């Protein structure tokens, strides 16, 4: 074999190795996405089981501070399997049974500032419009997102949050914080912690009827379900709103694509290391 043939063979071998590696990576990514969807599906089914035991009302999106007479609407809540009133993860957990179900296998580990960084990894978020909401009020269960990858590619150890969150600020009676279409309390989203399109430009979402699908993100098209708006560099800089509430998460919305959403800014996100 001459020098030219040897060089050509080396180039061909390198190309074949690169192709094989790319195919293996794609296969791994797809299997991880499937595992992620399976976990989200199980979590969605567990939420429906919760509904059947709780008069068809969704779990708590936030805690209530009895001492202060206020909702802890802008805080992240500690997952504690033995303290029922500590947010949606704790309330749904008895129906889940496996703490691994709260995070996508692809999610990286983040630590909330001021915490010890222990506990279960949580990367899925709950639609906070459904805080104690009657499931009978959901107009289109096949389209309404209940659980989703609202933090992007990063999870947080030991703490959960809702996306969006109702802004139930100030003194308020326990039980008074409820979603009301086009009225206060308004809602907001936290800025995601990691890459939005965790699955090659897509994210997984779980609907009220428990089916799970992936939606395209990064282009800011609210008609395809993308809840975010983006700057010129493609970074999320806000979310679609009807002026009071996050657009695609409204339980009374029929998803007919009618109306004209406006943009709204993120709520400042706590520091996650």
Please report whether residue 272 resides in a domain: no
Band (224; pLDDT cuts 50, 70, 90)? confident
What is the b/e burial string over 217-239, where b = at least 16 CB atoms within 10 angstroms of the residue's CB?
Answer: bbebebeebbbbbbeeeeebbbb
CA pair distance 141, 110, nearest whole angstrom: 32
Asked whether residue 255 carries a pLDDT value surpassing 70, the answer given is yes
Q: How many distinct structural domains can be found in the chain?
A: 1
Per-residue confidence (pLDDT) for residue 156, from 0 to 100: 94
Does residue 148 lie within any of the structural domains? yes
Tell me the per-residue pLDDT of 59-116, one tens digit each, with 9 for 90 and over.
999 999 999 999 999 889 999 876 666 789 999 999 998 899 999 999 999 998 888 8
With respect to residue 273, please indicate whether it lies within any of the assigned structural domains.
Answer: no
**82 lies in a domain?**
yes
DSSP 168: -
Asked if residue 73 belongs to a domain, the reply is yes
| 256 CB-side CA count, 13 A | 6
- The reply to whether 270 falls in a domain is no
Does residue 196 lie in a domain region? yes
Residue 197 lies in a domain: yes
Of 5-19, 117-131, 181-195, 230-244, the least confident: 5-19
Domain span at residue 148?
Answer: 3-264
Q: What pLDDT does 258 receive? A: 73
Res 48 pLDDT > 90: yes
**Cα angle 89, 273, 264; round to 5:** 70
- 59: Cβ–Cβ under 8 A, 6 or more apart, which residues? 47, 50, 87, 88, 91, 92, 126, 132
């Amino acid at each position: 074999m001459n020098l030219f043939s040897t060089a050509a063979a080396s180039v061909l071998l390198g190309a074949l190795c690169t192709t094989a590696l790319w195919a293996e990576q794609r296969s791994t990514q797809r299997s991880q996405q499937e595992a992620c969807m399976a976990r989200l599906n199980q979590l969605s089914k567990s939420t429906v089981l919760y509904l059947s035991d709780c008069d068809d009302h969704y779990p708590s999106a936030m805690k209530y501070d009895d001492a202060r007479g206020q909702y802890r609407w802008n805080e992240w809540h500690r997952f504690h399997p033995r303290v029922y009133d500590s947010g949606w993860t704790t309330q749904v957990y008895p129906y889940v049974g496996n703490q691994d179900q709260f995070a996508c296998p692809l999610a990286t580990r983040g630590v909330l500032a001021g915490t010890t960084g222990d506990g279960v990894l949580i990367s899925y978020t709950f639609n906070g419009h459904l805080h104690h909401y009657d499931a009978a009020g959901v107009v289109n269960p096949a389209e309404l997102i209940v659980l989703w990858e609202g933090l992007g590619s990063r999870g947080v150890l030991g703490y959960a949050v809702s996306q969006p969150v109702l802004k139930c600020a100030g003194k308020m009676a326990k039980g008074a914080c409820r979603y009301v279409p086009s009225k206060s309390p308004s809602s907001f989203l936290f800025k995601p912690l990691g890459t939005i399109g965790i699955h090659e430009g897509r994210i997984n979402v779980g609907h009220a009827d428990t089916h799970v699908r992936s939606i395209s993100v990064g282009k800011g098209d609210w008609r395809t379900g993308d809840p975010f708006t983006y700057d010129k560099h493609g970074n999320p800089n806000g979310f679609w709103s009807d002026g009071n509430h996050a657009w695609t998460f409204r339980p009374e919305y029929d998803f007919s694509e009618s109306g004209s959403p406006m943009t709204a800014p993120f709520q400042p996100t706590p520091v996650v290391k």
